[in-house]
Amino acid sequence: MEVPNQEIRLPLLDAKKISLSIKREDTLHPHISGNKFRKLKYNLLEAQKQGYTTLLTFGGAFSNHIAATAYAGKLQGFKTIGVIRGEELEAKWANNPTLSFAKAQGMEFHFISRQAYQEKNSEAFLKKLQQSFGVFYHLPEGGSNTLAVKGCEEILTEGDRHFDVVCSCVGTGGTLAGLINSKKANQKILGFTALQGGFLKNDIRKFAPQGGWTLQTDYHFGGYAKVTAPLIHFINDFKGQTGIPLDPVYTGKMLFGILDLVAKDYFKKGTKILAIHSGGLQGITGMNIRLKKKNLPTINV
């Protein structure tokens, strides 16, 4: 599976003599977009091989992973169970575009409190879930495990070897780990974190022991799924100028960060950058509902 790299033309890039291309992983599949396709691929093959008939996973109200798992599971004939963060959603999931999409694919929901959700990786909690739902193949939150990283090692191809820097969004870090494992020796990987906190580095090292990568932690805009009016304006301007849609949780923040770093001369003249568009566009509808309620500008679709 290979997607095109699209070269971006912007006055800032010309002025700074920087080349920027975007790998359109968002175009991989209409409903299992970007890195979630990569992360599910080998997991679903493994689940099939081991004879599992049910997938169980975790996510929040706007989770791209929940939407992708629901769709991919249906496609491959699995029953899917989504353990959803936030008991209050039980009464109003139908108003949430991500959750109603997942439900329409046949996903069964189990809503739990934010506090209970913190136990999501504990053996005891998984055992309890088995008692309620029977045997299942467990996909961790965000889908990050060894097989997910293996799938993400297929994002970069031989045709990408001439890029100096590869940029990617970072949630749990599984995607970044795959890029680190598959990069060429001369390439640097730059990860843009979508949430606050410094706990990520060890998770990434667990899956990708070698160096050659750094994290940019200044572009989370207040934290996971937090947005500001300037970010929304940036996403709309970027789409107007390049035709490329960005999501507000991950790729919008990364592109904002890349162009900010270009403006601040972070990159040497002549640097060739490849940014991975990891998808996430399904979340825009739900985010726009939230933005309208808060009287903030909305994302053009």
Look up residue 268 and give its DSSP letter: P
Distance CA 151, CA 35 (A): 9
Q: Shortest Cβ distance from residue 254 to ligand PLP (Å)?
A: 8
Rounded Cα distance between 52 and 233, Å, is: 45
* 111: β partners: 84
Residue 8 or 169: the one with the smaller Cβ distance to ligand PLP is: 169
Neighbours of 208 (CB within 10 A): 24
Q: Given the DSSP bridges, would you call strands 5-8 and 19-23 parallel, antiparallel or unpaired?
A: antiparallel
For the CA atoms of 225, 228, 229, 230, the dihedral, rounded to the nearest 10 degrees, stands at: -110
In the set 60, 73, 248, 280, which binds ligand PLP (CB under 6 A)?
280
Nearer to ligand PLP, 16 or 287 (CB): 287
- Packed helices 35-49 and 174-182: angle between N→C axes, nearest 10 degrees: 90
Task: Report the alpha-carbon distance of residue 187 to residue 176 in Å, rounded.
Answer: 13
Residues 19-58 touching ligand PLP, rule: CB under 6 A, are: 34-36
For ligand PLP, the closer of residues 16 and 155 by Cβ is 155
Per CB under 6 A, 173 contacts ligand PLP:
yes
**Using the rule CB under 6 A, is 172 a contact of ligand PLP?**
yes
Q: Which of 155, 170, 189, 246 binds ligand PLP (CB under 6 A)?
A: 170
The answer to whether 142 contacts ligand PLP (rule: CB under 6 A) is: yes
Among the listed residues 57, 105, 175, 216, the single contact to ligand PLP using CB under 6 A:
175
Of 16 and 147, the one with the shorter C-beta distance to ligand PLP is 147
Contact letters for ligand PLP, residues 58-97 (x by CB under 6 A)? ------xx--------------------------------
